[in-house]
Copies of this chain bind each other. A is one copy, B any other.
Amino acid sequence: MSASTSLKLRLPTFVLVLEVVMIALYGIFVTYDDNSNAKLQNNETDPMENSMYRDYPYFADIQVMIFLGFGCLLAFFRFYGFSGMVFNFLTATFAIQWAILIQGYFQFYSDGKIHLGVINLINAEFACAVVLISFGAVLGKTSPVQLLVMALLEIPIFAVTEWAVLKYLRINDAGGSILIHLFACYFGLGVTFVLYRPRLNKGHPKETTSYNSDILSVMGTLFLWVFWPSFNSALTFKGDDQHRAVLHTFLGLSSSTITAFALSAMFNKRGKITMADIQNVTLAGGVTVGASVDMMISPVAAYALGIMGCAACFFGYKYLTPFLAQRLRIQDQCGIHNLHGLTGLISSTAGICAILMATEDTYGPSMYQIFSHRAPPEGDPKLLELQKLIPGLKPGLGRTAQEQALFQVAAVFATIAAAAAGGLLTGLVMKLPFMASPSDENCFDDELFFNVPSDFDALSDYKITTLIAITLPYLPQ
């Protein structure tokens, strides 16, 4: 049994083959974009106008979220801290370099080349966030080879879905509630449905936290919390739109945080606070404001959305997660359906309401910039008029608010369907033999895939408790 989880051949083979593929594809297809290509600079180029100065600060913040935020958050298990943090590192790194290629093909491809700038990296980190969220559903029960396979398959399925939704349905989703959170959630649920482990429904002795791992995980939460406004605003229009995205995200997180404390204490038997709620439920507001994050929803709406998202997320953990595991064979290890699914649905609904209520009265002419598909089409005289007020306005599709709302609804269903189907398929591939999948006994255990230091298991509760029980009679007091 232990031989079958050795990474000695599997992991290097997989990685090195992929690297050869990457080198070939990067060599053939990837070149610099207009802002990173020396040849395209001339005497009219102002270096400080380079797109890098608009994008890099957000990229840097998202880097912290991906590698330190997710990394620490996923290290919450007592005997699975190495795996949580380090598999996150591996999976994220691979997912980003892979997404640069795949997304690049769909979004940054012209003249036979993928054109690379920091903006591609931001997009790729969003795709990577999708993979890491899905990872949450199967944390502790998968090998690094399985995680790489998951990233390998999820990135293209995500990229195609994103491309299709943006090209054909044309939706508003600045914070990615639909395309990032809903997709990631239902993909992850699809995977975990296939990887169902009935024996783990009764719990696993190593499925526990320690004092230090709980603190580490809260640090991860705080990294995510602190930089979430950058995440939600990275791809909005510059100017007032991005400004609002920051404000709404902050307010949503803020109200969701204090609500999480209140609910945690209220539904605890002894009126105490549960660390898992602080680690997860506090963040619900960041997702819930996502779909309408750049709209004129008013500050109080962001505040209220934070509370709603938090409540849905909290009760999801309490009632829905056990139900899914026991009745529907969906073991959602980190409860991504609560933090990303339920909140994503609320966010999508809120986005639709915001679209239906948007008027020129509230937005002024820039309404046609934010809701770009509502702008008049090419040739419409109203377009010329608007372009006098907003010089760079692009022609749109002339949609009404109701039409746009319907397309948003379609996007929600299409995304969920594509994600779930993709997740099921990916789960089947991950279940193939030779994937070094851990046995039920070895789940949640760093020792399976890591050389662990000598203090790793020396202090397990059982041993210590027994030691104390035995020696207690001899104690002077």
Contacts and interface: CB of A to CB of B under 8 A. Distances in A.
B454 A97 contact: no
Contacts of A475: 466, 470
A468 B461 contact: no
B54 A208 contact: no
A166 interface: no
Interface in A134-167: 144
A429 interface: no
A319 interface: no
B45 A239 contact: yes
A271 interface: yes
Contacts of A407: none
Given A23-B303, A272-B7, A366-B38, A68 B242 contact: no
Contact of A63 (B22, B226, B265): B226
A63 B323 CA distance: 37
A12 B265 contact: yes
A133 B188 CA distance: 42
A237 B45 CA distance: 13
A42 interface: yes
Interface string A197-234: 00000000000111111111011001101110110000
A450 B272 contact: yes
A367 B87 CA distance: 41
Contacts of A23: 300, 303-304
A219 B453 contact: no
A452 interface: yes
Given A89-B282, A454-B208, A459 B459 contact: yes
Interface in A165-214: 208-214
Contacts of A266: 8-9, 11-12
Contacts of A218: 71, 82, 85-86, 89
A40 interface: yes
A458 B466 CA distance: 11
Nearest to A250: B121
A8 B271 contact: yes
Contacts of A52: 239, 242-243, 246
Given A72-B219, A243-B50, A362 B86 contact: no
A19 B459 contact: no
A453 B244 contact: no
Interface in A38-62: 38-43, 45-48, 50-52, 54, 56-57, 59-61
B461 A274 contact: no
A106 interface: no
A409 interface: no
Interface in A240-275: 240-244, 246-247, 250-251, 253-255, 257-259, 261-263, 265-266, 268, 270-275
A390 B22 contact: no
B38 A258 contact: no
Contacts of A455: 78, 210-211, 459, 461, 464
Interface stretch (A24-32, A336-344, A349-357, A374-382): A24-32
A463 interface: yes
A60 B230 contact: yes
A451 B275 contact: yes
A465 B271 CA distance: 33
A346 interface: no
A211 B453 contact: yes
A213 to B, nearest CB: 8
A259 B82 contact: no
A260 to B, nearest CB: 9
A327 interface: no
B41 A254 contact: no
A17 to B, nearest CB: 10
A262 B56 contact: no
Interface in A1-18: 6-9, 11-12, 14-16, 18
Given A38-B241, A50-B242, A210-B455, 9 more contacts: A26-B299, A32-B296, A41-B364, A48-B238, A50-B243, A89-B278, A93-B254, A273-B450, A458-B468
17 contacts: A8-B266, A9-B266, A19-B307, A23-B304, A38-B244, A38-B296, A38-B363, A43-B391, A51-B243, A52-B243, A71-B218, A82-B215, A89-B257, A97-B258, A118-B246, A208-B454, A213-B453
